[in-house]
Chains A and B, each alone.
Chain A
Protein backbone atom coordinates (compact mmCIF):
# COMPACT_ATOMS: atom_id res chain seq x y z
CA UNK A 1 0.00 0.00 0.00
CA UNK A 2 1.80 3.09 -1.10
CA UNK A 3 2.91 5.34 1.69
CA UNK A 4 3.05 8.23 -0.73
CA UNK A 5 -0.65 8.05 -1.41
CA UNK A 6 -1.30 7.96 2.30
CA UNK A 7 0.78 11.02 2.85
CA UNK A 8 -0.59 12.90 -0.09
CA UNK A 9 -4.14 12.09 0.81
CA UNK A 10 -3.64 14.05 3.98
CA UNK A 11 -3.60 17.27 2.00
CA UNK A 12 -6.82 18.77 0.75
CA UNK A 13 -7.73 20.01 -2.71
CA UNK A 14 -6.36 23.50 -3.25
CA UNK A 15 -9.46 25.60 -3.68
CA UNK A 16 -10.44 29.13 -4.47
CA UNK A 17 -12.82 30.15 -1.74
CA UNK A 18 -16.34 30.45 -3.04
CA UNK A 19 -15.71 28.66 -6.34
CA UNK A 20 -18.30 25.97 -7.02
CA UNK A 21 -17.03 22.42 -6.58
CA UNK A 22 -17.53 21.48 -10.25
CA UNK A 23 -15.65 24.61 -11.35
CA UNK A 24 -12.77 23.79 -9.06
CA UNK A 25 -12.62 20.28 -10.48
CA UNK A 26 -12.55 21.80 -13.96
CA UNK A 27 -9.01 22.90 -13.22
CA UNK A 28 -7.99 19.25 -13.07
CA UNK A 29 -9.04 17.66 -16.38
CA UNK A 30 -7.29 14.36 -15.53
CA UNK A 31 -9.60 13.92 -12.54
CA UNK A 32 -12.59 14.49 -14.81
CA UNK A 33 -11.27 12.01 -17.40
CA UNK A 34 -10.59 9.35 -14.74
CA UNK A 35 -13.97 9.88 -13.09
CA UNK A 36 -15.63 9.78 -16.53
CA UNK A 37 -14.11 6.39 -17.31
CA UNK A 38 -15.24 5.00 -13.96
CA UNK A 39 -18.74 6.37 -14.51
CA UNK A 40 -18.87 4.60 -17.89
CA UNK A 41 -17.67 1.40 -16.29
CA UNK A 42 -20.27 1.66 -13.53
CA UNK A 43 -22.98 2.28 -16.13
CA UNK A 44 -21.84 -0.82 -18.07
CA UNK A 45 -22.07 -2.87 -14.87
CA UNK A 46 -25.48 -1.41 -14.04
CA UNK A 47 -26.84 -1.98 -17.54
CA UNK A 48 -25.35 -5.48 -17.87
CA UNK A 49 -28.77 -7.08 -18.48
CA UNK A 50 -29.26 -4.73 -21.43
CA UNK A 51 -25.70 -4.59 -22.78
CA UNK A 52 -24.71 -8.26 -22.55
CA UNK A 53 -25.71 -10.06 -25.76
CA UNK A 54 -26.28 -13.42 -24.04
CA UNK A 55 -27.04 -14.90 -20.64
CA UNK A 56 -23.64 -15.18 -18.91
CA UNK A 57 -24.48 -18.33 -16.96
CA UNK A 58 -26.37 -20.58 -19.39
CA UNK A 59 -24.14 -23.30 -20.77
CA UNK A 60 -24.21 -24.52 -24.39
CA UNK A 61 -21.65 -27.34 -24.78
CA UNK A 62 -22.23 -27.42 -28.55
CA UNK A 63 -21.02 -23.81 -28.77
CA UNK A 64 -17.88 -24.32 -26.65
CA UNK A 65 -14.46 -22.94 -27.66
CA UNK A 66 -15.77 -20.71 -30.49
CA UNK A 67 -13.11 -18.13 -31.46
CA UNK A 68 -14.05 -14.43 -31.63
CA UNK A 69 -16.38 -13.66 -34.53
CA UNK A 70 -19.59 -11.90 -35.48
CA UNK A 71 -21.84 -14.05 -33.28
CA UNK A 72 -19.54 -14.03 -30.25
CA UNK A 73 -17.34 -10.92 -30.22
CA UNK A 74 -14.83 -12.36 -27.72
CA UNK A 75 -15.57 -16.01 -28.44
CA UNK A 76 -17.03 -18.61 -26.08
CA UNK A 77 -15.56 -20.50 -23.14
CA UNK A 78 -15.28 -24.21 -22.31
CA UNK A 79 -18.99 -24.40 -21.46
CA UNK A 80 -20.13 -22.48 -24.53
CA UNK A 81 -20.83 -19.27 -22.61
CA UNK A 82 -20.32 -15.93 -24.37
CA UNK A 83 -17.06 -14.41 -23.04
CA UNK A 84 -18.06 -10.77 -23.57
CA UNK A 85 -21.35 -11.29 -21.72
CA UNK A 86 -19.45 -12.75 -18.78
CA UNK A 87 -16.97 -9.85 -18.92
CA UNK A 88 -19.79 -7.28 -18.77
CA UNK A 89 -21.56 -9.08 -15.90
CA UNK A 90 -18.20 -9.62 -14.18
CA UNK A 91 -17.88 -5.83 -13.83
CA UNK A 92 -20.72 -5.96 -11.30
CA UNK A 93 -18.86 -8.30 -8.98
CA UNK A 94 -15.58 -6.42 -9.26
CA UNK A 95 -17.06 -2.99 -8.63
CA UNK A 96 -19.31 -4.22 -5.82
CA UNK A 97 -16.42 -5.91 -4.05
CA UNK A 98 -14.25 -2.83 -4.61
CA UNK A 99 -16.78 -0.43 -3.10
CA UNK A 100 -18.06 -2.64 -0.27
CA UNK A 101 -14.65 -3.83 0.94
CA UNK A 102 -13.26 -0.30 0.87
CA UNK A 103 -16.31 0.88 2.84
CA UNK A 104 -15.63 -1.83 5.46
CA UNK A 105 -11.98 -0.79 5.64
CA UNK A 106 -12.93 2.88 5.83
CA UNK A 107 -15.58 2.56 8.55
CA UNK A 108 -13.72 0.09 10.79
CA UNK A 109 -10.27 1.57 10.12
CA UNK A 110 -11.35 5.18 10.67
CA UNK A 111 -13.21 4.23 13.87
CA UNK A 112 -10.12 2.48 15.27
CA UNK A 113 -7.86 5.32 14.14
CA UNK A 114 -10.10 7.98 15.70
CA UNK A 115 -10.36 5.99 18.93
CA UNK A 116 -6.58 5.52 19.09
CA UNK A 117 -5.79 9.11 18.19
CA UNK A 118 -8.41 10.72 20.43
CA UNK A 119 -8.04 8.54 23.50
CA UNK A 120 -4.24 8.15 23.31
CA UNK A 121 -2.46 6.21 26.07
CA UNK A 122 -2.94 2.45 26.29
CA UNK A 123 -5.85 2.42 23.86
CA UNK A 124 -3.59 4.00 21.26
CA UNK A 125 -0.66 1.65 21.98
CA UNK A 126 -2.77 -1.51 21.86
CA UNK A 127 -4.75 -0.57 18.78
CA UNK A 128 -1.68 0.56 16.89
CA UNK A 129 0.23 -2.64 17.69
CA UNK A 130 -2.75 -4.54 16.28
CA UNK A 131 -2.68 -2.34 13.17
CA UNK A 132 1.11 -2.85 12.86
CA UNK A 133 0.52 -6.61 13.03
CA UNK A 134 -2.01 -6.40 10.19
CA UNK A 135 0.51 -4.37 8.20
CA UNK A 136 3.18 -6.99 8.85
CA UNK A 137 1.37 -9.34 6.47
CA UNK A 138 1.76 -8.82 2.75
CA UNK A 139 -1.80 -7.62 1.97
CA UNK A 140 -2.97 -10.33 -0.43
CA UNK A 141 -1.52 -13.07 1.77
CA UNK A 142 -3.56 -11.88 4.74
CA UNK A 143 -6.65 -11.87 2.53
CA UNK A 144 -5.81 -15.43 1.41
CA UNK A 145 -5.35 -16.56 5.02
CA UNK A 146 -8.66 -14.99 6.12
CA UNK A 147 -10.64 -16.36 3.18
CA UNK A 148 -9.16 -19.82 3.56
CA UNK A 149 -10.18 -19.75 7.24
CA UNK A 150 -13.70 -18.41 6.67
CA UNK A 151 -14.35 -20.54 3.60
CA UNK A 152 -14.09 -19.75 -0.09
CA UNK A 153 -17.01 -17.56 -1.11
CA UNK A 154 -17.52 -14.01 -2.30
CA UNK A 155 -18.87 -12.61 0.98
CA UNK A 156 -15.80 -13.88 2.83
CA UNK A 157 -13.51 -12.42 0.16
CA UNK A 158 -15.21 -9.04 0.70
CA UNK A 159 -14.65 -9.31 4.46
CA UNK A 160 -11.01 -10.37 3.92
CA UNK A 161 -10.26 -7.47 1.57
CA UNK A 162 -12.06 -5.12 3.96
CA UNK A 163 -9.89 -6.31 6.86
CA UNK A 164 -6.75 -5.86 4.75
CA UNK A 165 -7.85 -2.27 4.07
CA UNK A 166 -8.39 -1.45 7.76
CA UNK A 167 -4.77 -0.47 8.59
CA UNK A 168 -4.59 2.00 5.71
CA UNK A 169 -7.53 4.00 7.04
CA UNK A 170 -6.71 3.49 10.72
CA UNK A 171 -3.24 4.98 10.34
CA UNK A 172 -4.50 7.87 8.22
CA UNK A 173 -7.38 8.67 10.59
CA UNK A 174 -5.13 8.47 13.66
CA UNK A 175 -2.61 10.84 12.11
CA UNK A 176 -5.34 13.29 11.21
CA UNK A 177 -6.94 13.12 14.68
CA UNK A 178 -3.57 13.80 16.32
CA UNK A 179 -3.39 17.02 14.28
CA UNK A 180 -6.99 18.05 14.97
CA UNK A 181 -7.07 17.02 18.66
CA UNK A 182 -4.98 19.97 19.75
CA UNK A 183 -6.87 22.50 17.62
CA UNK A 184 -8.47 25.41 19.45
CA UNK A 185 -12.00 24.55 18.42
CA UNK A 186 -11.66 21.06 19.89
CA UNK A 187 -10.12 22.44 23.07
CA UNK A 188 -12.94 24.96 23.29
CA UNK A 189 -15.55 22.22 22.90
CA UNK A 190 -13.85 20.28 25.69
CA UNK A 191 -13.73 23.29 28.00
CA UNK A 192 -17.41 23.90 27.26
CA UNK A 193 -18.05 20.45 28.74
CA UNK A 194 -18.89 18.58 25.51
CA UNK A 195 -19.02 14.80 25.71
CA UNK A 196 -16.20 12.97 23.96
CA UNK A 197 -18.40 11.21 21.38
CA UNK A 198 -20.17 14.47 20.57
CA UNK A 199 -16.87 16.31 20.07
CA UNK A 200 -15.65 13.50 17.83
CA UNK A 201 -18.75 13.48 15.64
CA UNK A 202 -19.36 17.24 15.57
CA UNK A 203 -15.80 18.56 15.35
CA UNK A 204 -13.25 15.85 14.62
CA UNK A 205 -14.91 13.69 11.96
CA UNK A 206 -15.92 16.55 9.62
CA UNK A 207 -12.36 17.85 9.70
CA UNK A 208 -10.67 14.57 8.84
CA UNK A 209 -13.22 13.32 6.30
CA UNK A 210 -11.67 14.70 3.11
CA UNK A 211 -8.34 12.85 3.17
CA UNK A 212 -10.15 9.65 4.12
CA UNK A 213 -12.49 9.93 1.15
CA UNK A 214 -9.56 10.62 -1.17
CA UNK A 215 -7.74 7.58 0.21
CA UNK A 216 -10.85 5.48 -0.31
CA UNK A 217 -10.89 6.24 -4.03
CA UNK A 218 -7.22 5.27 -4.23
CA UNK A 219 -7.79 1.98 -2.42
CA UNK A 220 -10.56 0.73 -4.72
CA UNK A 221 -8.04 -0.24 -7.44
CA UNK A 222 -6.18 -2.43 -4.95
CA UNK A 223 -9.43 -3.96 -3.71
CA UNK A 224 -10.51 -4.89 -7.26
CA UNK A 225 -7.11 -6.42 -7.92
CA UNK A 226 -7.32 -8.34 -4.63
CA UNK A 227 -10.77 -9.73 -5.51
CA UNK A 228 -9.50 -10.83 -8.91
CA UNK A 229 -6.52 -12.54 -7.26
CA UNK A 230 -8.69 -14.33 -4.67
CA UNK A 231 -11.16 -15.43 -7.34
CA UNK A 232 -8.26 -16.58 -9.53
CA UNK A 233 -7.16 -18.78 -6.63
CA UNK A 234 -10.71 -20.09 -6.21
CA UNK A 235 -11.21 -18.24 -2.91
CA UNK A 236 -13.52 -15.46 -4.12
CA UNK A 237 -16.48 -15.55 -6.46
CA UNK A 238 -17.73 -19.09 -6.99
CA UNK A 239 -19.07 -20.49 -10.26
CA UNK A 240 -21.29 -19.99 -12.12
CA UNK A 241 -21.28 -16.27 -11.11
CA UNK A 242 -19.30 -14.36 -13.74
CA UNK A 243 -15.96 -13.28 -12.29
CA UNK A 244 -12.93 -11.96 -14.14
CA UNK A 245 -10.44 -13.61 -11.79
CA UNK A 246 -12.14 -17.00 -11.75
CA UNK A 247 -12.69 -16.99 -15.54
CA UNK A 248 -8.99 -16.27 -16.03
CA UNK A 249 -8.13 -19.27 -13.91
CA UNK A 250 -10.41 -21.44 -16.04
CA UNK A 251 -8.81 -19.99 -19.19
CA UNK A 252 -5.37 -20.91 -17.85
CA UNK A 253 -6.28 -24.56 -18.16
CA UNK A 254 -6.92 -24.15 -21.89
CA UNK A 255 -3.78 -22.21 -22.88
CA UNK A 256 -2.12 -25.30 -24.33
CA UNK A 257 -5.16 -25.72 -26.61
CA UNK A 258 -4.51 -22.16 -27.83
CA UNK A 259 -7.97 -20.96 -26.74
CA UNK A 260 -6.39 -17.58 -25.99
CA UNK A 261 -9.65 -15.62 -26.25
CA UNK A 262 -10.91 -17.13 -23.02
CA UNK A 263 -8.15 -15.24 -21.17
CA UNK A 264 -7.98 -12.00 -23.14
CA UNK A 265 -11.51 -10.74 -22.27
CA UNK A 266 -11.44 -11.04 -18.48
CA UNK A 267 -7.73 -10.14 -18.24
CA UNK A 268 -8.14 -6.95 -20.25
CA UNK A 269 -11.21 -6.05 -18.20
CA UNK A 270 -9.23 -6.28 -14.94
CA UNK A 271 -6.34 -4.31 -16.46
CA UNK A 272 -8.55 -1.48 -17.78
CA UNK A 273 -10.66 -1.20 -14.62
CA UNK A 274 -7.69 -1.11 -12.28
CA UNK A 275 -5.95 1.32 -14.63
CA UNK A 276 -8.99 3.67 -14.53
CA UNK A 277 -8.99 3.76 -10.73
CA UNK A 278 -5.21 4.18 -10.61
CA UNK A 279 -5.42 6.95 -13.20
CA UNK A 280 -8.03 8.76 -11.10
CA UNK A 281 -5.98 8.16 -7.95
CA UNK A 282 -2.84 9.53 -9.60
CA UNK A 283 -4.75 12.54 -10.91
CA UNK A 284 -6.11 13.37 -7.44
CA UNK A 285 -2.68 12.84 -5.90
CA UNK A 286 -0.99 15.09 -8.44
CA UNK A 287 -3.65 17.74 -7.90
CA UNK A 288 -2.97 17.61 -4.17
CA UNK A 289 0.79 17.88 -4.46
CA UNK A 290 1.97 21.19 -5.89
CA UNK A 291 5.42 19.73 -6.60
CA UNK A 292 3.96 17.00 -8.77
CA UNK A 293 1.62 19.44 -10.50
CA UNK A 294 4.59 21.29 -11.97
CA UNK A 295 6.00 18.15 -13.62
Chain B
Protein backbone atom coordinates (compact mmCIF):
# COMPACT_ATOMS: atom_id res chain seq x y z
CA UNK B 1 0.00 0.00 0.00
CA UNK B 2 2.80 2.41 0.92
CA UNK B 3 4.50 1.55 -2.37
CA UNK B 4 1.28 2.33 -4.20
CA UNK B 5 0.91 5.72 -2.48
CA UNK B 6 4.55 6.58 -3.19
CA UNK B 7 4.18 5.52 -6.83
CA UNK B 8 1.03 7.64 -7.18
CA UNK B 9 2.82 10.62 -5.63
CA UNK B 10 5.75 10.12 -7.98
CA UNK B 11 3.37 10.04 -10.96
CA UNK B 12 1.65 13.15 -9.67
CA UNK B 13 4.86 15.14 -9.66
CA UNK B 14 5.36 15.52 -13.46
CA UNK B 15 1.65 16.32 -13.82
CA UNK B 16 1.91 18.98 -11.10
CA UNK B 17 4.96 20.48 -12.87
CA UNK B 18 3.01 20.49 -16.16
CA UNK B 19 0.10 22.19 -14.36
CA UNK B 20 2.46 24.95 -13.19
CA UNK B 21 3.81 25.31 -16.76
CA UNK B 22 0.26 25.75 -18.08
CA UNK B 23 -0.55 28.40 -15.46
CA UNK B 24 2.81 30.12 -16.11
CA UNK B 25 2.10 30.25 -19.86
CA UNK B 26 -1.37 31.67 -19.14
CA UNK B 27 0.14 34.35 -16.89
CA UNK B 28 2.55 35.33 -19.65
CA UNK B 29 -0.28 35.38 -22.22
CA UNK B 30 -2.21 37.89 -20.12
CA UNK B 31 -2.15 41.19 -22.00
CA UNK B 32 -0.39 44.18 -20.45
CA UNK B 33 2.77 44.64 -18.42
CA UNK B 34 2.40 43.11 -14.94
CA UNK B 35 4.70 45.82 -13.55
CA UNK B 36 2.46 48.59 -14.89
CA UNK B 37 -0.63 46.72 -13.74
CA UNK B 38 0.78 46.52 -10.23
CA UNK B 39 2.39 49.94 -9.94
CA UNK B 40 -0.17 51.88 -11.96
CA UNK B 41 0.10 53.63 -15.33
CA UNK B 42 1.75 56.70 -13.79
CA UNK B 43 4.69 54.76 -12.32
CA UNK B 44 8.15 56.12 -13.14
CA UNK B 45 10.22 54.16 -15.70
CA UNK B 46 12.88 53.53 -13.02
CA UNK B 47 10.40 51.95 -10.61
CA UNK B 48 8.97 49.84 -13.45
CA UNK B 49 12.46 48.59 -14.35
CA UNK B 50 13.22 47.88 -10.70
CA UNK B 51 9.93 46.05 -10.25
CA UNK B 52 10.45 44.00 -13.44
CA UNK B 53 13.87 43.05 -12.14
CA UNK B 54 12.43 42.13 -8.74
CA UNK B 55 9.85 39.83 -10.41
CA UNK B 56 12.49 38.44 -12.77
CA UNK B 57 10.55 39.69 -15.80
CA UNK B 58 13.79 40.90 -17.44
CA UNK B 59 15.07 37.31 -17.61
CA UNK B 60 14.59 34.83 -20.48
CA UNK B 61 11.31 32.84 -20.30
CA UNK B 62 12.80 29.51 -19.04
CA UNK B 63 14.55 31.43 -16.24
CA UNK B 64 11.31 33.27 -15.49
CA UNK B 65 9.56 29.91 -15.16
CA UNK B 66 12.22 28.62 -12.76
CA UNK B 67 11.85 31.80 -10.68
CA UNK B 68 8.06 31.30 -10.75
CA UNK B 69 8.45 27.65 -9.69
CA UNK B 70 10.88 28.63 -6.94
CA UNK B 71 8.39 31.22 -5.69
CA UNK B 72 5.61 28.63 -5.73
CA UNK B 73 7.70 26.22 -3.69
CA UNK B 74 8.18 29.01 -1.15
CA UNK B 75 4.42 29.56 -1.04
CA UNK B 76 4.60 32.75 -3.09
CA UNK B 77 1.73 32.86 -5.61
CA UNK B 78 2.32 36.53 -6.36
CA UNK B 79 0.48 39.62 -5.17
CA UNK B 80 -2.98 40.93 -5.86
CA UNK B 81 -2.85 43.87 -8.27
CA UNK B 82 -5.74 45.56 -6.47
CA UNK B 83 -5.14 44.91 -2.77
CA UNK B 84 -1.39 44.20 -2.99
CA UNK B 85 -2.11 41.33 -0.58
CA UNK B 86 -0.16 38.05 -1.08
CA UNK B 87 -2.37 35.80 -3.24
CA UNK B 88 -1.71 32.69 -1.14
CA UNK B 89 -2.75 34.50 2.03
CA UNK B 90 -5.95 35.72 0.36
CA UNK B 91 -6.71 32.15 -0.75
CA UNK B 92 -5.95 30.58 2.62
CA UNK B 93 -8.11 33.19 4.40
CA UNK B 94 -11.08 32.20 2.26
CA UNK B 95 -10.46 28.46 2.01
CA UNK B 96 -12.40 27.52 5.19
CA UNK B 97 -15.59 29.10 3.80
CA UNK B 98 -15.22 27.18 0.51
CA UNK B 99 -14.46 24.00 2.44
CA UNK B 100 -17.58 24.41 4.56
CA UNK B 101 -19.77 25.06 1.53
CA UNK B 102 -18.22 22.20 -0.45
CA UNK B 103 -18.64 19.75 2.42
CA UNK B 104 -22.26 20.81 2.99
CA UNK B 105 -23.01 20.43 -0.73
CA UNK B 106 -21.58 16.89 -0.78
CA UNK B 107 -23.63 15.98 2.32
CA UNK B 108 -26.74 17.35 0.61
CA UNK B 109 -25.91 15.43 -2.58
CA UNK B 110 -25.59 12.11 -0.74
CA UNK B 111 -28.65 12.78 1.45
CA UNK B 112 -30.74 13.13 -1.72
CA UNK B 113 -29.00 10.65 -3.98
CA UNK B 114 -28.85 7.60 -1.73
CA UNK B 115 -32.56 7.30 -0.79
CA UNK B 116 -33.74 8.45 -4.24
CA UNK B 117 -31.31 6.05 -5.95
CA UNK B 118 -32.48 3.14 -3.79
CA UNK B 119 -36.16 3.91 -4.43
CA UNK B 120 -35.63 4.29 -8.18
CA UNK B 121 -33.83 0.93 -8.34
CA UNK B 122 -36.04 -1.07 -5.97
CA UNK B 123 -39.29 0.29 -7.40
CA UNK B 124 -38.03 0.85 -10.90
CA UNK B 125 -41.39 0.27 -12.56
CA UNK B 126 -43.51 2.36 -10.16
CA UNK B 127 -44.32 6.02 -10.79
CA UNK B 128 -42.03 7.08 -7.91
CA UNK B 129 -39.21 4.99 -9.34
CA UNK B 130 -39.63 6.43 -12.81
CA UNK B 131 -39.64 10.01 -11.49
CA UNK B 132 -36.55 9.32 -9.36
CA UNK B 133 -34.92 7.73 -12.43
CA UNK B 134 -35.60 10.80 -14.57
CA UNK B 135 -34.30 13.27 -11.97
CA UNK B 136 -30.59 12.88 -12.88
CA UNK B 137 -31.13 14.13 -16.44
CA UNK B 138 -32.79 17.24 -15.00
CA UNK B 139 -30.15 17.66 -12.29
CA UNK B 140 -27.11 17.46 -14.58
CA UNK B 141 -28.70 19.84 -17.09
CA UNK B 142 -29.66 22.53 -14.58
CA UNK B 143 -26.90 25.16 -14.43
CA UNK B 144 -26.05 25.90 -10.80
CA UNK B 145 -26.25 29.65 -11.38
CA UNK B 146 -29.84 29.33 -12.65
CA UNK B 147 -30.77 27.04 -9.77
CA UNK B 148 -29.18 29.53 -7.36
CA UNK B 149 -31.26 32.35 -8.82
CA UNK B 150 -34.45 30.24 -8.55
CA UNK B 151 -33.68 29.36 -4.92
CA UNK B 152 -33.07 33.02 -4.05
CA UNK B 153 -36.33 34.02 -5.77
CA UNK B 154 -38.48 31.35 -4.10
CA UNK B 155 -36.96 30.77 -0.64
CA UNK B 156 -35.10 34.01 -0.11
CA UNK B 157 -37.34 36.68 -1.58
CA UNK B 158 -40.84 35.22 -2.03
CA UNK B 159 -41.28 32.87 0.96
CA UNK B 160 -38.57 34.64 3.01
CA UNK B 161 -37.66 31.36 4.70
CA UNK B 162 -33.89 31.67 4.32
CA UNK B 163 -31.43 34.49 3.71
CA UNK B 164 -30.92 35.08 -0.04
CA UNK B 165 -27.18 35.55 0.45
CA UNK B 166 -24.41 36.55 2.80
CA UNK B 167 -22.37 34.78 5.43
CA UNK B 168 -22.00 34.57 9.19
CA UNK B 169 -19.01 32.71 10.54
CA UNK B 170 -19.76 29.55 12.49
CA UNK B 171 -18.06 30.60 15.76
CA UNK B 172 -19.96 33.93 15.73
CA UNK B 173 -23.43 32.44 15.31
CA UNK B 174 -23.65 28.72 14.42
CA UNK B 175 -27.37 28.77 13.66
CA UNK B 176 -27.18 31.80 11.39
CA UNK B 177 -24.17 30.26 9.66
CA UNK B 178 -26.25 27.17 8.86
CA UNK B 179 -29.21 29.26 7.71
CA UNK B 180 -26.95 31.04 5.22
CA UNK B 181 -25.44 27.72 4.16
CA UNK B 182 -28.64 25.92 3.08
CA UNK B 183 -29.39 27.60 -0.28
CA UNK B 184 -25.82 27.72 -1.65
CA UNK B 185 -25.24 24.10 -0.56
CA UNK B 186 -28.36 22.97 -2.45
CA UNK B 187 -27.36 25.03 -5.48
CA UNK B 188 -23.84 23.61 -5.50
CA UNK B 189 -24.81 20.05 -4.55
CA UNK B 190 -27.59 19.39 -7.04
CA UNK B 191 -25.38 18.33 -9.93
CA UNK B 192 -23.49 15.95 -7.65
CA UNK B 193 -26.79 14.63 -6.29
CA UNK B 194 -27.85 13.89 -9.87
CA UNK B 195 -24.59 12.10 -10.69
CA UNK B 196 -24.67 10.04 -7.48
CA UNK B 197 -28.35 9.21 -7.93
CA UNK B 198 -27.73 7.90 -11.43
CA UNK B 199 -24.76 5.85 -10.25
CA UNK B 200 -26.58 4.56 -7.19
CA UNK B 201 -29.52 3.46 -9.33
CA UNK B 202 -27.48 1.65 -11.99
CA UNK B 203 -25.10 0.14 -9.45
CA UNK B 204 -27.94 -1.16 -7.26
CA UNK B 205 -29.83 -2.54 -10.27
CA UNK B 206 -26.69 -4.41 -11.28
CA UNK B 207 -26.09 -5.71 -7.76
CA UNK B 208 -29.70 -6.82 -7.32
CA UNK B 209 -29.30 -9.01 -10.42
CA UNK B 210 -26.26 -10.83 -8.98
CA UNK B 211 -26.38 -14.52 -8.05
CA UNK B 212 -25.57 -13.95 -4.37
CA UNK B 213 -28.56 -11.64 -4.01
CA UNK B 214 -30.77 -14.28 -5.64
CA UNK B 215 -29.35 -16.84 -3.20
CA UNK B 216 -30.12 -14.57 -0.25
CA UNK B 217 -33.67 -14.20 -1.51
CA UNK B 218 -33.98 -17.96 -2.06
CA UNK B 219 -32.93 -18.52 1.54
CA UNK B 220 -36.09 -16.68 2.47
CA UNK B 221 -34.51 -13.48 3.77
CA UNK B 222 -36.81 -10.49 4.00
CA UNK B 223 -36.50 -8.09 1.05
CA UNK B 224 -35.34 -5.23 3.32
CA UNK B 225 -32.61 -7.42 4.80
CA UNK B 226 -31.42 -8.56 1.38
CA UNK B 227 -31.18 -4.93 0.37
CA UNK B 228 -29.40 -3.60 3.46
CA UNK B 229 -27.15 -6.57 4.29
CA UNK B 230 -26.24 -7.80 0.83
CA UNK B 231 -26.96 -5.46 -2.04
CA UNK B 232 -26.33 -1.97 -0.67
CA UNK B 233 -22.82 -2.60 0.61
CA UNK B 234 -21.51 -3.48 -2.82
CA UNK B 235 -23.69 -1.02 -4.69
CA UNK B 236 -22.25 1.88 -2.68
CA UNK B 237 -18.66 1.32 -3.85
CA UNK B 238 -19.02 2.94 -7.32
CA UNK B 239 -20.84 5.87 -5.69
CA UNK B 240 -17.90 6.42 -3.36
CA UNK B 241 -15.40 6.34 -6.22
CA UNK B 242 -16.85 9.40 -7.94
CA UNK B 243 -16.23 11.60 -4.90
CA UNK B 244 -12.93 12.63 -6.53
CA UNK B 245 -14.76 13.86 -9.64
CA UNK B 246 -17.34 15.54 -7.42
CA UNK B 247 -14.65 17.50 -5.58
CA UNK B 248 -13.71 18.93 -8.98
CA UNK B 249 -17.32 19.85 -9.68
CA UNK B 250 -17.61 21.47 -6.24
CA UNK B 251 -14.47 23.54 -6.86
CA UNK B 252 -15.64 24.81 -10.24
CA UNK B 253 -19.24 25.23 -9.06
CA UNK B 254 -18.03 27.26 -6.08
CA UNK B 255 -16.83 30.01 -8.43
CA UNK B 256 -20.39 30.75 -9.52
CA UNK B 257 -22.34 29.72 -6.43
CA UNK B 258 -20.21 31.80 -4.06
CA UNK B 259 -20.66 34.80 -6.34
CA UNK B 260 -24.46 34.48 -6.47
CA UNK B 261 -24.84 33.97 -2.71
CA UNK B 262 -22.08 36.41 -1.69
CA UNK B 263 -20.29 33.55 0.09
CA UNK B 264 -16.76 34.72 0.94
CA UNK B 265 -14.77 31.76 -0.39
CA UNK B 266 -12.06 31.21 -3.00
CA UNK B 267 -14.58 31.20 -5.84
CA UNK B 268 -15.88 34.67 -5.03
CA UNK B 269 -12.33 35.90 -4.56
CA UNK B 270 -11.43 34.65 -8.04
CA UNK B 271 -14.60 35.98 -9.72
CA UNK B 272 -14.03 39.39 -8.13
CA UNK B 273 -10.50 39.06 -9.51
CA UNK B 274 -11.98 38.48 -12.99
CA UNK B 275 -14.19 41.56 -12.77
CA UNK B 276 -11.34 43.71 -11.43
CA UNK B 277 -8.83 42.23 -13.92
CA UNK B 278 -6.76 41.09 -10.95
CA UNK B 279 -5.26 38.16 -12.86
CA UNK B 280 -2.67 36.98 -10.30
CA UNK B 281 -5.59 36.26 -7.96
CA UNK B 282 -7.56 34.40 -10.68
CA UNK B 283 -4.59 32.31 -11.76
CA UNK B 284 -3.50 31.65 -8.19
CA UNK B 285 -6.98 30.46 -7.28
CA UNK B 286 -7.14 28.21 -10.36
CA UNK B 287 -3.71 26.70 -9.59
CA UNK B 288 -4.72 26.16 -5.97
CA UNK B 289 -7.99 24.51 -7.05
CA UNK B 290 -6.14 22.23 -9.49
CA UNK B 291 -3.72 21.11 -6.78
CA UNK B 292 -6.57 20.49 -4.30
CA UNK B 293 -8.37 18.52 -7.03
CA UNK B 294 -5.26 16.38 -7.68
CA UNK B 295 -4.81 15.58 -3.99
CA UNK B 296 -8.52 14.83 -3.57
CA UNK B 297 -8.35 12.35 -6.47
CA UNK B 298 -5.32 10.69 -4.87
CA UNK B 299 -7.06 10.44 -1.50
CA UNK B 300 -10.16 8.91 -3.10
CA UNK B 301 -8.01 6.34 -4.91
CA UNK B 302 -6.42 5.38 -1.61
CA UNK B 303 -9.76 5.25 0.21
CA UNK B 304 -11.09 3.03 -2.56
CA UNK B 305 -8.70 0.29 -1.48
CA UNK B 306 -10.16 0.35 2.02
CA UNK B 307 -13.72 0.38 0.72
CA UNK B 308 -13.32 -2.55 -1.63
CA UNK B 309 -11.21 -5.38 -0.24
CA UNK B 310 -11.23 -7.07 -3.66
CA UNK B 311 -8.85 -4.40 -4.94
CA UNK B 312 -5.20 -4.53 -4.07
CA UNK B 313 -2.44 -2.26 -5.28
CA UNK B 314 0.41 -4.45 -4.18
Binding site for B on A (CB under 8 A): 2-3, 129-130, 132-134, 136-142, 144-146, 148-152, 221, 225, 228-229, 232-235, 245, 248-249, 251-252, 255-256, 258, 260, 263, 267, 270-271, 274-275, 278-279, 282, 291-292, 295
Nearest to A289 among chain B residues (CB) is B202
- Residue of A129, A139, A141, A245 touching B18 (CB-CB under 8 A): A129
CA distance A137 to B146 in the complex (A): 24
Chain B contact residues, CB within 8 Å of chain A: 14-16, 18-19, 21-23, 26-27, 29-31, 124, 137-138, 140-143, 145-146, 149-150, 152-153, 157, 164, 195, 202, 205-206, 245, 248-249, 251-252, 255-256, 259-260, 270-271, 273-275, 279, 282-283, 286, 289-290, 293-294
Give Cα A252 to B27, complex, Å: 30
- Cα–Cα distance between A123 and B174 once the two chains are bound (Å): 55
Given contacts A133-B15, A234-B275, contact A144 B286 (CB under 8 A): yes
Q: Which residues of B contact A279 (CB under 8 A)?
A: 137
Instruction: State the majority secondary structure of interface residues on B.
Output: helix
* 9 tightest A-B CB contacts, nearest first: A133-B18, A267-B146, A275-B141, A140-B252, A138-B252, A138-B248, A149-B26, A274-B141, A145-B286
- Chain B positions within 8 Å of A228 at CB level: 143, 145
7 of the cross-chain contacts (CB-CB < 8 Å) are A133-B15, A138-B248, A150-B29, A251-B149, A263-B153, A278-B137, A295-B202
Known: A252-B260, A256-B157. 13 other contacts (CB 8 A): A3-B245, A129-B15, A136-B290, A144-B286, A148-B30, A255-B152, A255-B157, A255-B164, A260-B153, A263-B153, A274-B141, A278-B141, A279-B137
Task: Tell me which residues across on chain B come within 8 A of A139, comparing CB atoms.
Answer: 248, 252
Q: Contacts A133-B22, A138-B248, A149-B29 given; indicate if A144 touches B143 (C-beta within 8 A).
A: no
Distance (Å) between the CB of A243 and the closest chain B CB? Answer: 13
A146 touches B26 (CB 8 A): yes
